């Protein structure tokens, strides 16, 4: 699975909070969601992103996989990313 960042999402970082603006709506990212967003760059494989997540946080791969799927699904629903493959 490949995750591509939407180039039309505007990012503004202030302290440890990232604001994403898209479709005239502002969304706030912190913690794990902020980490995941920062690692996407323009395009990344799901497996590579999962490895980055497990190496950054002291978490079991099963838990990281569950959290990553949830966050990527939210990003996709908000049209922050597109997901190809499965």
CA distance 13 to 29: 9
pLDDT tens-digit series, residues 60-79: 999 999 999 999 999 999 99
Decide: residue 67, CB within 10 A, 0-12 exposed, 13-18 middle, 19+ buried: middle
13-61 pLDDT tens trace = 888 789 999 999 999 998 899 999 999 988 899 999 999 999 998 899 9
Domains annotated on the chain, with CATH: 2-81 (3.90.930)
Antiparallel, parallel or unpaired: β 2-5 and 10-14: unpaired
Q: Model confidence at 86, in pLDDT bands (50, 70, 90)? A: low
CA distance 78 to 74: 6
């Amino acid at each position: 699975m490949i995750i591509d960042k939407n180039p039309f999402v505007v990012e503004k970082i202030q302290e440890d909070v990232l604001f994403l603006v898209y479709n005239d709506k502002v969304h706030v990212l912190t913690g794990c969601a902020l980490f995941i967003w920062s690692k996407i760059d323009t395009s990344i494989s799901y497996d590579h992103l999962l490895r980055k997540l497990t190496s950054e946080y002291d978490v079991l791969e099963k838990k990281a996989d569950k959290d990553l799927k949830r966050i990527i699904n939210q990003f996709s629903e908000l049209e922050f990313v597109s997901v190809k493959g499965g």
